[in-house]
Structure 1
Amino acid sequence: MSKETEKQRWQRNFADLLQELRVAQTGVQILFAFLLTLPFSNGFTRTTEFQRDVYIVALLSAAAATAMIISPVAFHRALFRQGRKPELVRFAHRMASGGLGFMLISMVSAVLLITDFVLSRPIAFLLSAFTGVWFLVFWVILPFARRNWGDDDIDDEDDDPRTLAGD
């Protein structure tokens, strides 16, 4: 197998990132749609002021996550065929990371809203904190811990370990 050029590597990195964003985009869109319809349900009138505040945090953070996760598409359109793939990949990485942060806030807020509506507030806070920690374990702690699990790992998409030197 021939060595991957820098241009090919940036193209592959961008394709990988877009695939990841597709997965995140689906999740945040479903959550956002749920939050958009919630005030129109019959039970929403029984929410407390605290629950409405939590709802606003969940809604706005879902909107922010949606904007950030979809923004690489607009950025790609603006830079199309300008040979600026490295800049695009770096921007998309930052937007994906920020979007996941807002998605975390939105999900934990949605859990807090629902659990506070059906359970006591202390239990709601406990379950929401557990949810936040759970997401942090799988989205931050395990991925970053995995980065140190060995230097000789081979990328799943790459049959030739020599091409990893540029990653």
Structure 2
Amino acid sequence: MGYVVAVSQAEESHQRRLARNLNELLQELRVAQAGVQILFGFLLSIAFTERYASADGYIRATHLITILFAACAVALLTAPAAWHRLLFRRGRREDVIEVANRFAIIGLANLAVAMVGTILLLAEVVIGGWVAVVVGAFAAVLFGTLWFAWPWRERSRDTIRNDDVPDEDRVE
């Protein structure tokens, strides 16, 4: 004989909100994952070209560092799916969301560094010299501004009191 468990309206709403938050986060990560995986494949293929064999130490070091940041981005941006799968139906959805959010932010930072490194590498091969460094610096400013500084500024401009923010958006 089955038992009927009464769930309060507030708890059901909280669980639905958690499910929605997790789905939104995983959907956002799917977008980032595709890009970082393509970038990672591109970076790996560079090492197997004829031109790479004659690359100097600066190019090789920049390439290796860029690959390491791309690999970290892949690990961090795909980890939430593994956490979700391994903790599935364990009542840990809130924990998964909290950790996945941190992984996503750190993963995006690693992806930004990998993108800047890739742009610097390409600019170095195509243009070379100080102009390549300027192009890399421009890319760093662009990613830093669009992905981090501007949203952080908007976040600090919030006029909503923490008590008025829904649970899923609350900053503790």
Offset at residue 48 of structure 1 (A): 1.0
Match of residue 40, structure 1, among 34, 41, 48? 48
In structure 1, the residue corresponding to 2:89 is in which secondary structure?
coil
Give the Cα–Cα distance (whole angstroms) in 1 for the partners of residues 21 and 90 of structure 2.
Answer: 17
Structure 2: where are the runs of 5+ without partners?
Answer: 1-8
The one-letter code sitting in structure 1 at the alignment partner of 2:135 is L
Offset at residue 165 of structure 1 (A): 3.5
Give the Cα–Cα distance (whole angstroms) in 2 for the partners of residues 165 and 119 of structure 1.
Answer: 50
Superposed CA offset, 1:2-46 (max 9, x none): 977211111111111111101110110110010111111222123
User: Which residue does the alignment assign to 1:63?
Assistant: 71
The two structures have a TM-score, normalised by structure 1, of 0.85
The one-letter code sitting in structure 1 at the alignment partner of 2:22 is F
Q: Whose radius of gyration is greater, 1 or 2? A: 2
Give the Cα–Cα distance (whole angstroms) in 1 for the partners of residues 166 and 72 of structure 2.
Answer: 36
Give the Cα–Cα distance (whole angstroms) in 2 for the partners of residues 26 and 83 of structure 1.
Answer: 29
2:102 corresponds to 1:86: no
2:158 corresponds to 1:137: no
Superposed CA offset, 1:103-141 (max 9, x none): 111111111111112223211111101100000111012
Give the Cα–Cα distance (whole angstroms) in 2 for the partners of residues 100 and 90 of structure 1.
Answer: 16
2:152 corresponds to 1:114: no
Question: RCO greater where, 1 or 2, for CA within 8 Å and sep 6 or more?
Answer: 1
Structure 1: where are the runs of 5+ without partners?
Answer: 152-162
Give the Cα–Cα distance (whole angstroms) in 1 for the partners of residues 63 and 166 of structure 2.
Answer: 47
Offset at residue 149 of structure 1 (A): 5.6
User: Which residue does the alignment assign to 2:3?
Assistant: none
Match of residue 14, structure 1, among 19, 22, 26? 22
For the aligned residue pairs, the C-alpha RMSD in angstroms reads 2.0
User: Which residue does the alignment assign to 1:123?
Assistant: 131
Query: Quick one: percent identity of the two aligned structures?
Result: 37
Decide whether the 8 Å contact of 1:47 with 1:117 is kept in 2.
no
